[in-house]
Amino acid sequence: ITMKVLVATEKPFAKAAVDGIREIVQGAGYQMALLEKYTDTNQLLTAVQDADALIVRSDKVTAEVVAAAPQLKIVVRAGAGYDNVDLGACTSRGIVVMNTPGQNSNAVAELAIGMMIFMARNQFTPGTGTEIRGKRLGIQAYGHVGRLVGRYGKAMGMEVSAYDPYADPSVFEEDGVRVMDTVEALYEQSDYLSLHIPATEQTKASIGYSLLTRMPQGATLVNTARKEVIDEAGLVKALEERTDLKYITDIAAGNQTALTEKFGKRVFATSKKMGAETAEANINAGLAAARQVVGYLKDGDTKFQVNK
């Protein structure tokens, strides 16, 4: 019997990406099943019953989902952040988990730059804008997205600094980016602070009052990473005390309506996470995921495995 690859996307890929994934999966001799826009976890639990491989986006691959999939061998998160996958549940069953690093990062980096301009222009309010050229851009975490934001920021005439204790120091030199020794120093010297950290037990709620109030007069925090990394109470307190600070996020916080009512044009949130919502990003990440599934099932290729 042929193996089955399930593509489960509550937020569907662009059609061109789905077509490309199907071509790769079927071309390798596997069956493909598609579950899009599901509204109930039960739909996913049913769909994974006979799946050998699973491709997802931000879809939650919980222990319950893993338990409902007795034949599952590999999960590929088409994207960067895999905080939606229960790694422990997968590892204990010997299921390989991968992400597709770098594949959708340009979309997110372009959005981060766009968000800076949007806030510099006071949410496109005529007669009230400033420019990003000449301003100091701080990048927290210099991975695939952070590095692109750094390069684009430089091209826009910004002074770029970064903080990332895990990055290879040679990349900063290559890009001509100043390295900060502490995260506090980065916040102190950033007119725009762009967040590119993953959501982990260490980073959750790590950005709050004490970092935000270190920022210079008129500074803007740009969050295209994860809402979970923000300490919301701390954010609100900082915005209340410092009426010059601004916050823009791709991932609406729980109380976003209240935030907008309270702080007006100083805050903005997208209505749905859209950083990687471009045709190009869907195609790049979706096709990479399909190739990685085939590479693992056919040749045992574990490049990009995150639960080694």
Report if residue 144 touches ligand 3PG, rule: CB under 6 A.
Answer: no
Binding mask 104-143 for ligand 3PG (x = CB under 6 A): x---------------------------------------
Q: Which of 4, 24, 57, 74 binds ligand 3PG (CB under 6 A)?
A: 57
Give the Cα separation of 282 and 277 in Å (integer).
Answer: 7
- Residue span binding ligand 3PG (CB under 6 A) among the ranges 43-51, 125-133, 269-277, 286-294: 269-277
What is the number of the residue whose Cβ is closest to ligand 3PG?
79
Stretch that binds ligand 3PG, among 157-165, 185-193, 270-278, 291-299 (CB under 6 A): 270-278
Q: Helix or strand or coil: residue 258?
A: helix
Pick between residue 99 and residue 190 the one whose CB is nearest to ligand 3PG.
Answer: 99
Among 20, 143, 275, 286, binds ligand 3PG (CB under 6 A): 275
Give the CA distances from residue 307 to residues 11, 32, 159, in Å, rounded to whole numbers and listed in that order: 25, 25, 37
- The count of residues interacting with ligand 3PG (CB under 6 A) is 11
Site membership for ligand 3PG, residue 284 (CB under 6 A): no
The piece of 77-85, 187-195, 205-213, 287-295 that touches ligand 3PG (CB under 6 A) is 77-85
Buried b (16+ CB within 10 A) or exposed e, 85-95: bbeebbeeeeb
Sheet holding 31-36, edge to edge: 31-36, 4-9, 53-56, 74-77, 96-99
Q: Please name the residue that has the structure tokens 């500074």.
A: 219
Alpha carbons 10 and 150: distance in angstroms, whole number: 31
How far is the CA of 21 from the CAs of 18, 70, 216, 283, in angstroms?
5, 23, 46, 9
- 55 touches ligand 3PG (CB under 6 A): no
- Tell me the C-alpha distance between 291 and 187, whole Å: 40
* Residues found near ligand 3PG in the complex (CB under 6 A): 11, 57-58, 79-81, 104, 273, 275-277
